[in-house]
Amino acid sequence: MNALRLVLPGVSLSVAIALLADWSARLPGPQSLGLSALTLAILGGMLLGHTVYPRLAGMCTAGVALAKTRLLRLGIVLYGFRLTFQAVTTVGWAGVLIDALVLSSTFLLAWQVGRRLLGVDEESVILIGAGSAICGAAAVLATEPVVRAAPERVTVAVSTVVVFGTLAMFLYPVLHALGSTWGISDFAFGMFTGSTVHEVAQAVAAGRAISETAATSAVITKLLRVMMLAPFLMLLSAWLAGRSSRAQRPSARIALPWFALGFLVVTGFNSLALLPAPVTATLVTLDNLLLATAMAALGLTTHLSAFRLAGPRPLLLAAVLFLWLVAGGSLINATVLRLMP
* Res. 306 pLDDT band, cuts 50 70 90: low
How far apart (Å, rounded) are the C-alpha atoms in residues 153 and 158? Answer: 9
| Beta carbons of 290 and 263 less than 8 angstroms apart | no
Cα–Cα nearest to 202, from 240, 238, 172: 172
pTM above 0.75, yes or no: no
Tens-place pLDDT, residues 104-158: 999 999 999 999 999 888 989 999 999 999 988 778 877 877 787 776 777 788 8
How far apart (Å, rounded) are the C-alpha atoms in residues 61 and 238? Answer: 38
Q: Give the pLDDT score at 252.
A: 44
Tens-place pLDDT, residues 156-196: 888 788 788 888 888 998 888 876 667 788 889 999 999 99
Cα–Cα nearest to 84, from 281, 269, 288: 269
User: For the residues 242-251, what does the mean pLDDT come to?
Assistant: 54
Determine which of 5-14, 114-123, 260-269, 323-332 has the lowest per-residue pLDDT on average.
260-269
Q: Give the pLDDT score at 310.
A: 58
Tens-place pLDDT, residues 3-55: 788 999 999 999 999 999 999 988 887 766 556 787 788 889 989 988 999 88
Q: Give the pLDDT score at 160.
A: 83
Contacts for 334-337 with beta carbons within 8 Å, 24 or more apart? Answer: 336/94, 336/97, 336/98, 336/101, 337/94, 337/98, 337/188, 337/191
Q: Give the pLDDT score at 180.
A: 64
Q: Which phi and psi (to 5°) does residue 99 adopt?
A: -60, -45
